[in-house]
Amino acid sequence: MSTPGKIVVVGGGLAGITAAIALREVGADVTLVEARPRLGGATTSFSRGGLVVDNGQHVFLRCCVAYRGLLARLGMTGSVALQDRFDVTVLGPGGRARLRRTALPGPLHMGQALVGYRFLSRAQRLRVGRAALAMAALNPAREDLDRQRLGDWLAAHGQDEQTRRLLWDLFTVSALNVAGDDANLALAATVVKTALLGARDAADIGVPGIPLGDLHGRAAGEHLARIGAQVRLGAKAAAVEVLPGAPGGPGASGARFRVRLAGRPGGDDPPESAGPVLDADGVVLAVPPAVAAKLAPAGLGRGPAAGDMPGPAQWRELGTSPIVNVHVIYDRRVTRLPFVAAVDSPVQWVFDRTGPSGLRSGQYLAVSLSAADAYVDVPASALRKQFLPAMADLLPAAREARVTDFFVTRERRATLRQVPGCERLRPGGATALPGLVLAGAWTDTGWPDTMEGAVRSGLNAVRVLRQELAAPGRAGLVAGPAGSPGAVNGSGPADRPVPAGGSAGTGATA
């Protein structure tokens, strides 16, 4: 076939949006279906008392070339603020420190920041340097690293409890959304090597300047409409079926699919299994792992074609980790910093959301709590009693300010639970059924479950799908390697980020 044909993308988060754009750009007839009444997936906004509130704080790093490329495709590059230089103020009840990179090449660029980090002793800082160099030598692709806890590895390399809590946790907890010691070593090494030990500007932090619902969902809807993709909101997929007699049986190289949509709840439609249908040459499942396992055709994970690739049974084994966001609105400004990190405090990261929310007076701060198992079921009243004093300990001006509003948002299944053993359960873009591919930050992208991982997964899915549906001899239809900026359309300079070119971000970093 001269184009990838008719494709249904199930799921309208960042992964599905990326896949739909990339497929449409190479001529596919694309229909994206999303169960919710909006696009954007886990990155969304809602209204409260005249304010626009993000469900959670999502940020990105300069090294997130795929996510930044998606923003460029959506025309949203000017709607985010990206630091000129990595610069983080760290607050503790007893004072503050500043982590700021220099213009030296990596990994030397972080040396001065480490030397001046006052929360650790000189001996501890020296040991951090040695451990960082040891981590730089790790290959995250080694299978044995998937079986190891980060805390065990750090302890074996001279990192005591205090050092792990006051430095390493600043970055690994928010990036991996799991308690620092429990994190998967392979994924932790990916984060540290890529962001902190790689290119000198890799860790520069970017934050949204407008609500997430506008940055992702609204912008994506408008762009997809402009390029001719069909978007069906409020359309819940109930099943993906292989059409009887379609290619895809034993010895075949392709398949035709039927995506069955659920009937309207409470309406006159038949049950879910008898809802409207969409026929397609290929399907992208850009949904969470449990949903993908439910939608997949029966028997997908069995038989010789499955080989060693993780199937629906393994997808269901993947755990999830929660994120909680504590939102505090003060009657006056209590800090002039756009964001801060905290140590020796229940507070992890704090972001100023005054401007994006539309608040006209006072200051709106969002406290992002990753690995929030201890908080996800705590009533808002109890969190108020804990976090308002903690904020006052960190920000002296908050002691005199009046709190005009306090509320909590909870994402119970915010990310994949990135603990030892999770990597062997993460599938790639391909499944045992040619033409049916997977996308989502939970799939194996080489990145943690972040916005960057989500966008990269959309690339991976499109690359695999185009390979599987390409006619023999038509190599031009096959996308480039995963992570290459030219992989959307087979061309483009390697330093130009595009949506399928390369981040859930989640928690405080992505």
* DSSP letter assigned to residue 273: G
pLDDT digits (tens, 9 = 90+) for 455-475: 999 999 999 999 998 844 333
Closest C-alpha to 285, from 1, 3, 487, 19: 19
Q: What pLDDT was estimated at residue 470?
A: 80
Residue pLDDT, tens place only, 58-84: 999 999 999 999 999 999 999 999 999
Provide CB contacts within 8 A for 262, sequence distance 6+.
236, 237, 238, 272, 275
Is 220's pLDDT higher than 80?
A: yes
Using one digit for the tens of pLDDT, what is the confidence trace for 166-217?
A: 999 999 999 999 999 999 999 999 999 999 999 999 999 999 999 999 999 9
Render pLDDT for 302-339 as a digit per residue (tens, 0 to 9): 555 556 789 999 999 999 999 999 999 999 999 999 99
Residue 195 has what pLDDT? 95
Q: Is the pLDDT of residue 495 over 50?
A: no
pLDDT at site 503: 31
Q: Alpha helices of 117-244 — where are they, by DSSP H? A: 122-136, 150-156, 161-163, 169-176, 185-191, 212, 219-226
Q: Which of 119-123, 146-150, 380-384, 494-498 has the lowest mean pLDDT?
A: 494-498
Q: Rounded to whole angstroms, how far apart are CA atoms 342 and 365?
A: 14
- Split at pLDDT 50, 70, 90, the class of 444 is very high
What confidence category does residue 4 fall into, taking pLDDT thresholds of 50, 70 and 90? Answer: low
Across the chain, what does the average pLDDT equal?
Answer: 89
pTM value is 0.90
What confidence score (pLDDT) does residue 488 get? 43
pLDDT at 316: 96
336 DSSP assignment: -
Task: Give dist(CA 164, CA 261) in Å, integer.
Answer: 48
pLDDT of residue 452: 98
Q: What is the pLDDT of residue 3?
A: 60
CB atoms within 10 A of CB 263: 18
Is 80 exceeded by the pLDDT of residue 250? Answer: no
What number is the average pLDDT over the span 44-70? 96
Sign of CA dihedral 56, 496, 444, 222: positive
Across 269-287, average pLDDT: 81
Mean pLDDT value of segment 35-40: 97
Q: Does an H or E element contain 452, and which?
A: helix 451-469
Helices (H), 177-247: 185-191, 212, 219-226
Per-residue confidence (pLDDT) for residue 263, from 0 to 100: 77
Q: Which residue has the tokens 């397609």?
A: 280
Q: Which residue has the higher pLDDT, 269 or 487?
A: 269
**Dist. CA 323–CA 124, nearest whole Å:** 30
Hey, is 367 helix, strand or coil?
A: strand
Cβ pair 32, 227 in contact under 8 A:
no
Tokens 């007839």 correspond to 29
pLDDT of residue 275: 81
Under a CB-based contact definition with an 8 Å cutoff, are residues 80 and 209 in contact?
A: yes
Cβ atoms within 10 Å of 113's Cβ, excluding its own:
18
**Alpha-carbon distance 332 to 412, whole Å?**
32
Note the pLDDT of residue 498.
30
With a cut of 50, say whether residue 504 has pLDDT above it: no
Q: Is the pLDDT of residue 480 over 70?
A: no
Centre a 10 Å sphere on the Cβ of residue 134 and count the other Cβ atoms it contains: 14
The values of phi and psi at residue 464, to 5°, are -65, -45
If we measure between CA atoms, which residue out of 200, 109, 184 comes closest to residue 151?
184
